[in-house]
Amino acid sequence: MKQREEKKIIIIGAGLVGSLWAVYMAKEGYKVTIYERRSDIRKTVISAGKSINLALSNRGWKALDAVGVGDEVRKFAIPMYGRVMHDTQGMLTYQQYGNEDQAIYSVSRGLVNARMMDMAEQKGNANIFFEHECRNVDLEKGIVYLTNKQTGEQFEDKGELVFAIDGAFSAVRYNAMQKIDRFNYSQNFIADGYREILLPANADGTYKMEKNALHIWPRGRFMLIALANNDGSFTCTLFMPHQDHKYSFDKLTSKEKVNGFFKEVFPDFYEMLPDIAEEWAKHPLSSLAIVRCHPWVSGRVALMGDSAHATVPFYGQGMNAGFEDCTVMSELIQKHGSNWEAIFEEYNRERKPDGDALQDLSLENYIEMRDLVGDPMFLLRKKIEAKFSSLYPDKWMPLYSQVTFSSIRYSVALKQGAIQREIMDKIMAKADINETWDNPEIMDEIISLCE
Protein backbone atom coordinates (compact mmCIF):
# COMPACT_ATOMS: atom_id res chain seq x y z
CA MET A 1 0.00 0.00 0.00
CA LYS A 2 1.31 3.45 -0.87
CA GLN A 3 2.44 5.72 1.93
CA ARG A 4 -0.14 8.45 1.89
CA GLU A 5 -2.41 10.00 4.46
CA GLU A 6 -5.27 7.53 4.73
CA LYS A 7 -8.47 9.09 3.52
CA LYS A 8 -11.83 7.47 3.84
CA ILE A 9 -14.05 6.75 0.88
CA ILE A 10 -17.51 5.22 0.83
CA ILE A 11 -18.78 2.77 -1.75
CA ILE A 12 -22.52 2.19 -2.04
CA GLY A 13 -23.09 -1.34 -3.30
CA ALA A 14 -21.00 -4.50 -2.74
CA GLY A 15 -21.85 -5.92 -6.15
CA LEU A 16 -19.30 -7.07 -8.70
CA VAL A 17 -17.97 -3.64 -9.57
CA GLY A 18 -18.27 -2.10 -6.10
CA SER A 19 -16.24 -4.92 -4.57
CA LEU A 20 -13.56 -4.69 -7.25
CA TRP A 21 -13.34 -0.91 -6.90
CA ALA A 22 -12.68 -1.38 -3.17
CA VAL A 23 -9.53 -3.32 -4.05
CA TYR A 24 -8.40 -0.58 -6.42
CA MET A 25 -8.98 2.20 -3.90
CA ALA A 26 -7.25 0.30 -1.11
CA LYS A 27 -4.19 -0.04 -3.34
CA GLU A 28 -4.28 3.73 -3.76
CA GLY A 29 -4.12 4.10 0.00
CA TYR A 30 -7.73 4.88 0.78
CA LYS A 31 -9.68 3.40 3.64
CA VAL A 32 -12.81 1.82 2.20
CA THR A 33 -16.27 1.40 3.73
CA ILE A 34 -18.94 -0.37 1.71
CA TYR A 35 -22.67 -0.23 2.42
CA GLU A 36 -24.79 -2.92 0.76
CA ARG A 37 -28.60 -3.05 0.79
CA ARG A 38 -28.82 -6.83 0.56
CA SER A 39 -27.66 -9.46 3.00
CA ASP A 40 -24.33 -11.25 2.59
CA ILE A 41 -24.82 -13.66 -0.32
CA ARG A 42 -21.89 -15.69 0.98
CA LYS A 43 -24.01 -16.68 3.99
CA THR A 44 -27.18 -17.52 2.12
CA VAL A 45 -28.17 -19.82 -0.69
CA ILE A 46 -27.30 -18.08 -3.92
CA SER A 47 -30.47 -17.41 -5.85
CA ALA A 48 -30.08 -18.30 -9.49
CA GLY A 49 -33.34 -16.49 -10.09
CA LYS A 50 -32.13 -13.31 -11.65
CA SER A 51 -28.55 -14.19 -12.37
CA ILE A 52 -28.06 -14.65 -16.10
CA ASN A 53 -24.74 -16.44 -16.27
CA LEU A 54 -22.21 -13.84 -17.16
CA ALA A 55 -19.57 -13.92 -19.89
CA LEU A 56 -16.26 -12.50 -18.78
CA SER A 57 -14.12 -11.20 -21.61
CA ASN A 58 -11.01 -9.16 -22.25
CA ARG A 59 -12.04 -5.91 -20.55
CA GLY A 60 -13.13 -7.76 -17.43
CA TRP A 61 -9.97 -9.83 -17.14
CA LYS A 62 -7.79 -6.77 -17.68
CA ALA A 63 -9.46 -4.96 -14.76
CA LEU A 64 -9.29 -8.03 -12.52
CA ASP A 65 -5.66 -8.82 -13.33
CA ALA A 66 -4.50 -5.25 -12.78
CA VAL A 67 -5.11 -5.71 -9.04
CA GLY A 68 -4.26 -9.41 -8.97
CA VAL A 69 -7.69 -10.97 -8.50
CA GLY A 70 -8.11 -12.54 -11.95
CA ASP A 71 -6.68 -15.92 -10.99
CA GLU A 72 -9.21 -16.31 -8.20
CA VAL A 73 -11.97 -16.07 -10.82
CA ARG A 74 -10.14 -18.25 -13.38
CA LYS A 75 -10.55 -21.19 -10.98
CA PHE A 76 -14.18 -21.55 -11.93
CA ALA A 77 -14.51 -19.76 -15.30
CA ILE A 78 -15.46 -21.96 -18.26
CA PRO A 79 -14.05 -20.86 -21.64
CA MET A 80 -16.44 -20.66 -24.58
CA TYR A 81 -14.62 -20.49 -27.91
CA GLY A 82 -17.65 -19.97 -30.12
CA ARG A 83 -21.38 -20.18 -30.59
CA VAL A 84 -23.30 -23.34 -31.34
CA MET A 85 -26.54 -22.57 -33.15
CA HIS A 86 -29.42 -25.04 -32.80
CA ASP A 87 -31.98 -24.93 -35.60
CA THR A 88 -35.58 -26.15 -35.40
CA GLN A 89 -34.51 -29.60 -36.61
CA GLY A 90 -31.88 -29.84 -33.91
CA MET A 91 -29.12 -29.35 -36.48
CA LEU A 92 -26.03 -27.62 -35.12
CA THR A 93 -23.82 -24.94 -36.68
CA TYR A 94 -20.62 -23.67 -35.08
CA GLN A 95 -19.17 -20.19 -35.31
CA GLN A 96 -15.83 -19.45 -33.70
CA TYR A 97 -15.73 -16.15 -31.80
CA GLY A 98 -12.21 -15.05 -32.67
CA ASN A 99 -8.85 -16.76 -33.07
CA GLU A 100 -8.51 -20.33 -31.88
CA ASP A 101 -7.27 -19.35 -28.46
CA GLN A 102 -9.74 -16.53 -27.89
CA ALA A 103 -12.70 -17.25 -25.66
CA ILE A 104 -15.31 -15.62 -23.48
CA TYR A 105 -15.75 -17.19 -20.05
CA SER A 106 -18.95 -18.41 -18.45
CA VAL A 107 -19.11 -17.51 -14.76
CA SER A 108 -21.91 -17.52 -12.20
CA ARG A 109 -22.82 -14.04 -11.11
CA GLY A 110 -23.28 -15.15 -7.52
CA LEU A 111 -19.96 -16.95 -7.38
CA VAL A 112 -17.97 -14.06 -8.86
CA ASN A 113 -19.71 -11.63 -6.53
CA ALA A 114 -18.90 -13.77 -3.47
CA ARG A 115 -15.21 -14.02 -4.44
CA MET A 116 -15.06 -10.28 -5.18
CA MET A 117 -16.44 -9.57 -1.71
CA ASP A 118 -13.69 -11.78 -0.23
CA MET A 119 -11.15 -9.81 -2.24
CA ALA A 120 -12.59 -6.49 -1.08
CA GLU A 121 -12.22 -7.59 2.53
CA GLN A 122 -8.87 -9.35 2.19
CA LYS A 123 -7.00 -7.26 -0.38
CA GLY A 124 -9.00 -4.07 0.10
CA ASN A 125 -9.30 -4.14 3.91
CA ALA A 126 -12.81 -2.95 3.27
CA ASN A 127 -15.53 -3.03 5.90
CA ILE A 128 -18.71 -4.23 4.26
CA PHE A 129 -21.93 -3.38 6.07
CA PHE A 130 -24.76 -5.53 4.76
CA GLU A 131 -28.47 -4.76 4.96
CA HIS A 132 -27.72 -1.07 5.01
CA GLU A 133 -29.91 1.06 2.81
CA CYS A 134 -28.84 4.40 1.38
CA ARG A 135 -31.69 6.87 1.88
CA ASN A 136 -29.98 9.91 0.47
CA VAL A 137 -26.64 11.57 -0.20
CA ASP A 138 -25.40 15.12 0.25
CA LEU A 139 -23.52 15.25 -3.03
CA GLU A 140 -21.41 18.29 -2.18
CA LYS A 141 -20.43 17.21 1.32
CA GLY A 142 -20.07 13.47 0.67
CA ILE A 143 -22.50 12.63 3.49
CA VAL A 144 -24.43 9.39 3.07
CA TYR A 145 -27.72 8.91 4.96
CA LEU A 146 -28.22 5.27 5.86
CA THR A 147 -30.69 2.93 7.49
CA ASN A 148 -29.59 -0.28 9.16
CA LYS A 149 -32.39 -2.54 8.00
CA GLN A 150 -31.91 -5.03 10.81
CA THR A 151 -32.14 -2.52 13.67
CA GLY A 152 -34.02 0.27 11.91
CA GLU A 153 -31.34 2.68 13.11
CA GLN A 154 -30.82 5.74 10.92
CA PHE A 155 -27.37 7.31 10.80
CA GLU A 156 -25.01 9.13 8.51
CA ASP A 157 -21.46 8.61 7.35
CA LYS A 158 -19.09 10.89 5.51
CA GLY A 159 -16.45 10.14 2.92
CA GLU A 160 -13.88 12.19 1.06
CA LEU A 161 -15.50 10.59 -1.96
CA VAL A 162 -18.59 8.49 -2.50
CA PHE A 163 -18.82 5.90 -5.29
CA ALA A 164 -22.38 4.96 -6.17
CA ILE A 165 -21.96 1.47 -7.61
CA ASP A 166 -25.42 0.32 -6.61
CA GLY A 167 -26.80 -1.01 -9.83
CA ALA A 168 -29.33 -0.25 -12.54
CA PHE A 169 -31.84 1.17 -10.07
CA SER A 170 -29.24 2.97 -7.99
CA ALA A 171 -30.55 4.53 -4.79
CA VAL A 172 -27.96 7.28 -4.95
CA ARG A 173 -28.95 8.21 -8.48
CA TYR A 174 -32.66 8.07 -7.71
CA ASN A 175 -32.65 9.81 -4.33
CA ALA A 176 -29.99 12.43 -4.94
CA MET A 177 -28.77 12.86 -8.50
CA GLN A 178 -32.11 12.69 -10.28
CA LYS A 179 -33.19 15.73 -8.29
CA ILE A 180 -30.36 18.02 -9.31
CA ASP A 181 -30.99 20.60 -11.99
CA ARG A 182 -30.17 19.57 -15.54
CA PHE A 183 -29.62 15.89 -14.69
CA ASN A 184 -30.61 13.93 -17.77
CA TYR A 185 -32.07 10.52 -17.10
CA SER A 186 -33.90 7.77 -18.90
CA GLN A 187 -35.01 4.26 -18.03
CA ASN A 188 -36.25 2.46 -21.10
CA PHE A 189 -37.61 -1.06 -20.81
CA ILE A 190 -37.36 -3.02 -24.04
CA ALA A 191 -40.37 -4.99 -25.29
CA ASP A 192 -38.71 -8.26 -24.33
CA GLY A 193 -38.34 -10.02 -21.00
CA TYR A 194 -36.43 -13.11 -19.94
CA ARG A 195 -36.92 -16.24 -17.91
CA GLU A 196 -34.19 -18.57 -16.68
CA ILE A 197 -34.32 -22.33 -16.97
CA LEU A 198 -31.86 -24.76 -15.42
CA LEU A 199 -30.82 -27.66 -17.64
CA PRO A 200 -29.39 -30.21 -15.18
CA ALA A 201 -26.36 -32.45 -15.73
CA ASN A 202 -26.70 -36.04 -16.85
CA ALA A 203 -27.13 -38.59 -14.05
CA ASP A 204 -23.37 -39.25 -14.17
CA GLY A 205 -22.62 -35.56 -13.81
CA THR A 206 -21.58 -35.04 -17.43
CA TYR A 207 -22.78 -32.19 -19.64
CA LYS A 208 -25.71 -32.69 -21.99
CA MET A 209 -24.08 -30.44 -24.60
CA GLU A 210 -20.66 -29.09 -25.51
CA LYS A 211 -19.57 -27.11 -22.48
CA ASN A 212 -17.00 -24.87 -24.16
CA ALA A 213 -19.46 -22.98 -26.32
CA LEU A 214 -22.35 -20.61 -25.92
CA HIS A 215 -25.48 -22.31 -27.21
CA ILE A 216 -28.09 -20.30 -29.10
CA TRP A 217 -31.46 -21.28 -30.45
CA PRO A 218 -32.08 -18.28 -32.75
CA ARG A 219 -35.73 -17.93 -33.70
CA GLY A 220 -36.03 -14.54 -35.35
CA ARG A 221 -37.98 -12.47 -32.85
CA PHE A 222 -36.86 -14.49 -29.82
CA MET A 223 -34.11 -16.84 -28.69
CA LEU A 224 -32.96 -19.29 -26.08
CA ILE A 225 -29.34 -19.37 -24.93
CA ALA A 226 -27.35 -21.68 -22.62
CA LEU A 227 -24.08 -21.24 -20.74
CA ALA A 228 -22.33 -24.04 -18.87
CA ASN A 229 -21.95 -24.21 -15.09
CA ASN A 230 -19.19 -26.12 -13.29
CA ASP A 231 -21.51 -28.84 -11.98
CA GLY A 232 -22.47 -30.16 -15.42
CA SER A 233 -25.64 -28.09 -15.66
CA PHE A 234 -26.41 -25.21 -18.02
CA THR A 235 -28.07 -21.95 -17.11
CA CYS A 236 -30.47 -21.29 -19.97
CA THR A 237 -32.34 -18.09 -20.67
CA LEU A 238 -35.31 -17.50 -22.90
CA PHE A 239 -35.55 -13.95 -24.28
CA MET A 240 -38.89 -13.11 -25.86
CA PRO A 241 -41.42 -10.28 -26.18
CA HIS A 242 -43.69 -9.81 -23.17
CA GLN A 243 -46.74 -9.58 -25.42
CA ASP A 244 -48.20 -8.71 -28.84
CA HIS A 245 -46.36 -11.41 -30.80
CA LYS A 246 -47.15 -14.87 -32.08
CA TYR A 247 -44.62 -16.11 -29.54
CA SER A 248 -44.68 -14.03 -26.41
CA PHE A 249 -44.57 -14.66 -22.66
CA ASP A 250 -48.21 -13.69 -22.12
CA LYS A 251 -49.30 -16.67 -24.20
CA LEU A 252 -47.47 -19.29 -22.10
CA THR A 253 -50.07 -19.47 -19.37
CA SER A 254 -50.20 -23.21 -18.62
CA LYS A 255 -47.92 -26.23 -18.40
CA GLU A 256 -49.49 -27.57 -21.60
CA LYS A 257 -48.70 -24.38 -23.47
CA VAL A 258 -45.12 -24.30 -22.19
CA ASN A 259 -44.63 -27.92 -23.23
CA GLY A 260 -46.21 -27.32 -26.62
CA PHE A 261 -44.08 -24.24 -27.20
CA PHE A 262 -40.79 -26.00 -26.45
CA LYS A 263 -41.76 -29.10 -28.46
CA GLU A 264 -42.55 -26.91 -31.44
CA VAL A 265 -39.72 -24.41 -31.49
CA PHE A 266 -36.91 -25.98 -29.45
CA PRO A 267 -37.40 -29.73 -30.07
CA ASP A 268 -33.81 -30.76 -29.27
CA PHE A 269 -33.93 -28.77 -26.05
CA TYR A 270 -37.25 -30.31 -25.12
CA GLU A 271 -35.75 -33.76 -25.60
CA MET A 272 -33.00 -32.91 -23.09
CA LEU A 273 -35.49 -31.45 -20.61
CA PRO A 274 -38.92 -33.04 -20.96
CA ASP A 275 -40.02 -31.66 -17.59
CA ILE A 276 -39.46 -28.12 -18.84
CA ALA A 277 -42.85 -27.06 -17.46
CA GLU A 278 -41.67 -27.85 -13.92
CA GLU A 279 -38.41 -25.94 -14.38
CA TRP A 280 -40.33 -23.07 -16.00
CA ALA A 281 -42.19 -22.27 -12.81
CA LYS A 282 -39.03 -22.03 -10.69
CA HIS A 283 -37.87 -18.67 -12.02
CA PRO A 284 -39.75 -15.42 -12.45
CA LEU A 285 -40.32 -13.53 -15.65
CA SER A 286 -38.03 -10.50 -15.54
CA SER A 287 -37.75 -7.25 -17.44
CA LEU A 288 -34.84 -5.68 -19.31
CA ALA A 289 -33.99 -1.98 -19.31
CA ILE A 290 -31.47 0.46 -20.70
CA VAL A 291 -30.67 3.23 -18.20
CA ARG A 292 -28.91 6.32 -19.48
CA CYS A 293 -28.02 9.39 -17.47
CA HIS A 294 -25.69 12.35 -17.36
CA PRO A 295 -23.68 13.72 -15.63
CA TRP A 296 -22.12 10.70 -13.94
CA VAL A 297 -20.47 12.84 -11.29
CA SER A 298 -21.72 15.53 -8.95
CA GLY A 299 -19.75 17.08 -6.10
CA ARG A 300 -17.95 14.27 -4.29
CA VAL A 301 -20.00 11.51 -5.87
CA ALA A 302 -19.43 9.38 -8.99
CA LEU A 303 -21.62 6.72 -10.57
CA MET A 304 -19.88 3.57 -11.83
CA GLY A 305 -21.10 0.35 -13.44
CA ASP A 306 -24.81 -0.22 -13.94
CA SER A 307 -25.80 2.89 -11.99
CA ALA A 308 -24.19 4.91 -14.78
CA HIS A 309 -24.92 2.77 -17.85
CA ALA A 310 -27.12 -0.28 -17.21
CA THR A 311 -27.63 -2.18 -20.42
CA VAL A 312 -29.38 -5.22 -21.85
CA PRO A 313 -27.25 -8.38 -21.66
CA PHE A 314 -26.97 -9.25 -25.35
CA TYR A 315 -23.32 -8.39 -25.86
CA GLY A 316 -22.29 -9.92 -22.57
CA GLN A 317 -20.63 -6.61 -21.70
CA GLY A 318 -22.51 -5.29 -18.66
CA MET A 319 -20.07 -6.60 -16.05
CA ASN A 320 -17.09 -6.12 -18.36
CA ALA A 321 -17.99 -2.48 -18.90
CA GLY A 322 -18.40 -1.96 -15.16
CA PHE A 323 -14.99 -3.52 -14.51
CA GLU A 324 -13.55 -1.34 -17.26
CA ASP A 325 -14.91 1.72 -15.43
CA CYS A 326 -12.41 0.75 -12.72
CA THR A 327 -9.60 0.61 -15.31
CA VAL A 328 -10.57 4.03 -16.67
CA MET A 329 -10.90 5.68 -13.26
CA SER A 330 -7.64 4.08 -12.13
CA GLU A 331 -5.78 5.43 -15.18
CA LEU A 332 -7.13 8.88 -14.35
CA ILE A 333 -5.78 8.54 -10.81
CA GLN A 334 -2.37 7.78 -12.31
CA LYS A 335 -2.74 10.89 -14.49
CA HIS A 336 -4.15 13.37 -11.97
CA GLY A 337 -3.00 11.99 -8.59
CA SER A 338 -5.38 13.05 -5.87
CA ASN A 339 -6.90 15.89 -7.87
CA TRP A 340 -10.34 14.33 -7.82
CA GLU A 341 -11.99 17.30 -9.43
CA ALA A 342 -9.90 16.68 -12.54
CA ILE A 343 -10.39 12.90 -12.31
CA PHE A 344 -14.18 13.18 -12.05
CA GLU A 345 -14.37 15.80 -14.78
CA GLU A 346 -12.42 13.68 -17.25
CA TYR A 347 -14.21 10.46 -16.28
CA ASN A 348 -17.56 12.16 -16.84
CA ARG A 349 -16.52 13.63 -20.17
CA GLU A 350 -14.55 10.74 -21.64
CA ARG A 351 -16.33 7.65 -20.37
CA LYS A 352 -19.95 8.67 -21.05
CA PRO A 353 -19.73 8.23 -24.87
CA ASP A 354 -18.47 4.69 -24.27
CA GLY A 355 -21.41 3.92 -21.99
CA ASP A 356 -23.80 5.13 -24.69
CA ALA A 357 -22.00 3.11 -27.36
CA LEU A 358 -22.01 -0.01 -25.19
CA GLN A 359 -25.80 0.29 -24.93
CA ASP A 360 -26.21 0.78 -28.67
CA LEU A 361 -23.98 -2.23 -29.33
CA SER A 362 -25.97 -4.34 -26.84
CA LEU A 363 -29.25 -3.56 -28.57
CA GLU A 364 -27.76 -4.28 -32.01
CA ASN A 365 -26.36 -7.60 -30.90
CA TYR A 366 -29.76 -8.88 -29.76
CA ILE A 367 -30.84 -8.82 -33.40
CA GLU A 368 -27.64 -10.58 -34.40
CA MET A 369 -28.08 -13.32 -31.79
CA ARG A 370 -31.78 -13.98 -32.05
CA ASP A 371 -32.07 -13.66 -35.83
CA LEU A 372 -28.95 -13.25 -37.96
CA VAL A 373 -26.85 -16.12 -36.59
CA GLY A 374 -29.50 -18.48 -37.98
CA ASP A 375 -29.03 -17.07 -41.49
CA PRO A 376 -26.46 -18.83 -43.77
CA MET A 377 -25.74 -15.56 -45.59
CA PHE A 378 -24.86 -13.91 -42.30
CA LEU A 379 -22.51 -16.75 -41.42
CA LEU A 380 -20.89 -16.43 -44.85
CA ARG A 381 -20.47 -12.70 -44.22
CA LYS A 382 -18.69 -13.49 -40.97
CA LYS A 383 -16.52 -16.08 -42.71
CA ILE A 384 -15.39 -13.55 -45.34
CA GLU A 385 -14.72 -10.99 -42.62
CA ALA A 386 -12.72 -13.51 -40.61
CA LYS A 387 -10.64 -14.44 -43.64
CA PHE A 388 -9.92 -10.82 -44.50
CA SER A 389 -9.10 -10.06 -40.91
CA SER A 390 -6.62 -12.94 -40.69
CA LEU A 391 -4.93 -11.82 -43.94
CA TYR A 392 -4.92 -8.12 -43.02
CA PRO A 393 -5.12 -7.90 -39.23
CA ASP A 394 -3.96 -4.26 -39.33
CA LYS A 395 -6.84 -3.27 -41.58
CA TRP A 396 -9.71 -5.15 -40.03
CA MET A 397 -10.65 -6.40 -36.60
CA PRO A 398 -14.23 -7.79 -36.62
CA LEU A 399 -16.61 -5.79 -34.45
CA TYR A 400 -17.23 -8.73 -32.12
CA SER A 401 -13.50 -8.98 -31.50
CA GLN A 402 -13.14 -5.24 -30.95
CA VAL A 403 -15.82 -5.39 -28.26
CA THR A 404 -14.90 -8.72 -26.72
CA PHE A 405 -11.19 -9.33 -27.23
CA SER A 406 -9.77 -5.80 -27.18
CA SER A 407 -9.85 -2.65 -25.09
CA ILE A 408 -10.74 -0.42 -28.02
CA ARG A 409 -13.16 2.19 -26.74
CA TYR A 410 -16.77 1.11 -27.21
CA SER A 411 -17.51 4.39 -28.98
CA VAL A 412 -14.70 3.75 -31.47
CA ALA A 413 -15.78 0.12 -31.99
CA LEU A 414 -19.33 1.24 -32.70
CA LYS A 415 -18.14 3.66 -35.39
CA GLN A 416 -15.70 1.19 -36.96
CA GLY A 417 -18.39 -1.47 -36.93
CA ALA A 418 -20.70 0.79 -38.93
CA ILE A 419 -17.99 1.37 -41.54
CA GLN A 420 -17.30 -2.37 -41.77
CA ARG A 421 -21.00 -3.11 -42.16
CA GLU A 422 -21.22 -0.73 -45.11
CA ILE A 423 -18.26 -2.39 -46.80
CA MET A 424 -19.59 -5.89 -46.22
CA ASP A 425 -23.05 -4.86 -47.47
CA LYS A 426 -21.40 -4.08 -50.80
CA ILE A 427 -19.53 -7.37 -50.89
CA MET A 428 -22.60 -9.42 -49.92
CA ALA A 429 -24.68 -7.66 -52.59
CA LYS A 430 -22.65 -9.38 -55.33
CA ALA A 431 -24.90 -11.84 -57.13
CA ASP A 432 -22.39 -14.69 -57.13
CA ILE A 433 -20.87 -14.18 -53.70
CA ASN A 434 -21.80 -17.70 -52.60
CA GLU A 435 -19.44 -19.10 -55.26
CA THR A 436 -16.78 -16.38 -55.42
CA TRP A 437 -16.31 -15.53 -51.75
CA ASP A 438 -13.05 -17.45 -51.43
CA ASN A 439 -11.46 -15.86 -54.54
CA PRO A 440 -8.55 -13.46 -54.03
CA GLU A 441 -10.45 -10.76 -55.97
CA ILE A 442 -12.92 -10.47 -53.10
CA MET A 443 -10.09 -9.74 -50.68
CA ASP A 444 -8.69 -7.16 -53.09
CA GLU A 445 -12.06 -5.50 -53.34
CA ILE A 446 -12.37 -5.25 -49.57
CA ILE A 447 -8.91 -3.68 -49.43
CA SER A 448 -9.93 -1.06 -51.95
CA LEU A 449 -13.16 -0.37 -50.04
CA CYS A 450 -11.14 0.07 -46.85
CA GLU A 451 -9.22 2.95 -48.35
Q: How far is the CB of 182 from a second copy (least distance, A)?
A: 4
Q: How far is the CB of 207 from a second copy (least distance, A)?
A: 34
Among 416, 417, 438, smallest CA distance to 427 is for 438
Q: 295 vs 417, which CB is nearer to a second copy? A: 295
> H/E/C letters for each residue in the chain?
CCCCCCEEEEEECCCHHHHHHHHHHHHCCEEEEEECCCCCHHHCCCCCCCCCCEEECHHHHHHHHHCCCHHHHHCCCEEECEEEEECCCCCEEEEECCCCCCCEEEECHHHHHHHHHHHHHHCCCCEEECCEEEEEEECCCCEEEEEECCCCCEEEEECCEEEECCCCCCHHHHHCHHHCCCCEEEEEEEEEEEEEEEECCCCCCCCCCCCCCEEEEECCCCEEEEEECCCCCEEEEEEEECCCCCCCHHHCCCHHHHHHHHHHHCHHHHHHCCCHHHHHCCCCCEEEEEEEEECCEECCEEECCHHHHCCCHHHCCHHHHHHHHHHHHHHHHHHHCCCHHHHHHHHHHHHHHHHHHHHHHHHHHHHHHHCHHHCHHHHHHHHHHHHHHHHCCCCCCCHHHHHHCCCCCHHHHHHHHHHHHHHHHHHHCCCCHHHHCCCHHHHHHHHHHHC
Q: How far is the CB of 137 from a second copy (least distance, A)?
A: 17
Q: 94 vs 189, which CB is nearer to a second copy? A: 189
Q: How far is the CB of 183 from a second copy (least distance, A)?
A: 7
Q: 175 vs 327, which CB is nearer to a second copy? A: 175
Q: How far is the CB of 40 from a second copy (least distance, A)?
A: 25
Among 8, 73, 3, smallest CA distance to 34 is for 8
Q: How far is the CB of 319 from a second copy (least distance, A)?
A: 23
Q: 181 vs 394, which CB is nearer to a second copy? A: 181
Point out which residues bind a second copy (CB under 8 A): 174, 178, 181-189, 242, 287
Q: 165 vs 171, which CB is nearer to a second copy? A: 171
Q: 291 vs 384, which CB is nearer to a second copy? A: 291
Q: How far is the CB of 181 from a second copy (least distance, A)?
A: 5
Q: 174 vs 270, which CB is nearer to a second copy? A: 174
> H/E/C letters for each residue in 195-206?
EEEEECCCCCCC
Q: 76 vs 174, which CB is nearer to a second copy? A: 174
Q: 135 vs 421, which CB is nearer to a second copy? A: 135
Q: How far is the CB of 287 from a second copy (least distance, A)?
A: 5
Q: How far is the CB of 179 from a second copy (least distance, A)?
A: 8
